[in-house]
Amino acid sequence: MYTKILVPIDGSVHSQHALSVACKLSEQNSTKVYVLHIPEVVGNTTKLIWGVGALASDATSEHLASAGEALLEEAETFAKAKGIRNIETMIEQGRPVDIILEVSRREGVDVIVMGSRGLSDLGGMVAGSVSHKLGHLAQCGVITVS
């Protein structure tokens, strides 16, 4: 069905569910799954990141990078346990919408599978959620997962 799937993750429960759905959609060994993390500093509260633990809002860039790498390793382990063999992880910097669009075009993905909400819930409600914007701007399908 799909040959290339992009899964942006931020450590939220919603992004974990999105990765699970992407694994189900890519039951063929030929499907390539791209797992993308874009470190983003938002708010003034501690965040609980799936597979990483608590991360303070004043964490250094080195700590954010380390947490991002740990998050991607956890996601890769999870996907491989679900039978995904063709997986690529990446960390990119920038505005999430712009980076996700850029990666989806560059890699020629068929569909983006992402959580409906991330760690920056309040910011998404005020500025318009990343998943909502991608639904309008992406040149491929977008599946949002709760």
Look at residue 41 in the predicted model and tell me its pLDDT: 58
Question: At residue 52, does pLDDT exceed 50?
Answer: no
Q: 88-104: string of b/e by CB count within 10 Å (b at 16+)?
A: ebebbeeebbebbbebb
State the residue for tokens 């964490």.
Answer: 59
User: What is the domain range of residue 136?
Assistant: 4-145
Look at residue 28 in the predicted model and tell me its pLDDT: 67
Instruction: For CA atoms 119, 12, 144, 111, give the dihedral sign.
Output: positive
Q: What's the whole-number mean pLDDT along residues 72-98?
A: 94
Question: At residue 62, does pLDDT exceed 90?
Answer: no
Question: At residue 126, does pLDDT exceed 80?
Answer: no
Both structure tokens of 118: 């991330």
The SS3 assignment for 55 reads: strand
Query: Cα(127)–Cα(61) distance, rounded to whole angstroms?
Result: 24
What digits encode the pLDDT tens for the residues 73-85? 999 999 999 999 9
Look at residue 81 in the predicted model and tell me its pLDDT: 94
Look at residue 50 in the predicted model and tell me its pLDDT: 45
Query: Cα(68)–Cα(132) distance, rounded to whole angstroms?
Result: 24
Look at residue 131 in the predicted model and tell me its pLDDT: 87
Count up the domains in the chain and report the number: 1
CA 134-7-66 angle, 5° bins: 115
Q: Which of 22, 27, 26 is nearest to 9 (CA)?
A: 22
Look at residue 60 in the predicted model and tell me its pLDDT: 62
Half-sphere exposure of residue 141, counting CA atoms within 13 Å on the CB side? 12
Q: What's the whole-number mean pLDDT along residues 29-47?
A: 74
**Cβ atoms of residues 75 and 5 within 8 Å:** no
CATH number of the domain within which 17 lies: 3.40.50.620
Q: What value does the mean pLDDT of the chain take?
A: 82
Number of C-beta neighbours around residue 70 at 10 A: 16
